[in-house]
């Protein structure tokens, strides 16, 4: 019997086509989300403590994601009935209404996205895919089951990608970088003439390390 192959999309790839059942009904991903940024994140299992804290944290940041034109989608290999009951429990017991869909994936879908890591058991690991309006994968993060994610970093990553698309590179820890704060890094010069002009045009540590105000 041929072993199932673990795959994962690479940065810049078009997100794999998936037809799935969710708590909001059937979905085609990424087709139904074309033209919008989205974050698809997997969790190991419903009715588990760390995953519950993550879902509450994601829900509390829905307004921030909406402001960025970004949609949220959860996913695990639990059945949709389990997802529905878990969402009901969160609303009843924690007074949080989960408004984003949760995908009921099967092993084939999870393997297609590289969410099943044999060394970490049979549940999906904590994967995060940030996908742009052209359905291209822009950022991927994987966490083990025992470590919950930082949702502020997911929000920051979406913001940073959107800014990088229009203004330039984003520094470490942006918008609180130790050297340049929330300023944007200017792409390094690639010829001698441009390199000579850079210190006159921007604030620079050197011609290859120049920066400008956000929004300029």
Which residues participate in catalysis according to the annotation?
51
Helices (H), 14-147: 49-60, 62-67, 80-94, 107-112
Two tokens, residue 75: 């996913």
Whose tokens are 């930082």? That residue is 150
Between CA 65 and CA 52 the distance in angstroms is 19
The total of other beta-carbon atoms located within 10 Å of residue 161's CB is: 17
Maximum distance among all Cα pairs of the chain, rounded to whole angstroms: 66
C-alpha separations of 181 from 129, 144, 185, 214 in Å: 27, 31, 11, 10
Distance (Å, whole) CA 113 – CA 65: 23
């Amino acid at each position: 019997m041929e072993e199932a192959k673990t795959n994962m999309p690479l940065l810049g790839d078009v997100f794999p086509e998936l037809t799935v059942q969710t708590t909001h009904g059937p979905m085609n991903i990424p087709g139904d989300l074309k033209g919008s940024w989205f974050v698809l994140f997997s969790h190991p299992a419903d009715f588990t403590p760390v995953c519950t804290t993550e879902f509450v944290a994601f829900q509390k940041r829905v307004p921030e994601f909406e402001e960025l034109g970004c949609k949220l989608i959860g996913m695990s290999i639990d059945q949709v009935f389990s997802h529905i009951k878990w969402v009901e429990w969160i609303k009843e017991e924690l007074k949080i209404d989960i408004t984003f869909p949760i995908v009921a994936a099967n092993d084939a879908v999870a393997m297609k996205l590289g969410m099943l890591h044999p060394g970490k058991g049979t549940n999906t690991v904590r994967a995060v895919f940030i996908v742009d309006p052209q359905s291209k994968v822009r950022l991927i993060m994987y966490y083990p089951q025992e470590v919950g994610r930082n949702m502020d970093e997911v929000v920051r990553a979406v913001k940073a990608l959107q800014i990088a698309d229009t203004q330039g590179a984003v520094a470490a820890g942006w918008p609180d970088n130790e050297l340049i704060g929330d300023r944007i890094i200017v792409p390094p010069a690639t010829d001698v003439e441009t390199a000579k002009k850079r210190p006159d045009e921007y604030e620079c540590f050197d011609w290859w390390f120049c920066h400008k105000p956000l929004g300029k």
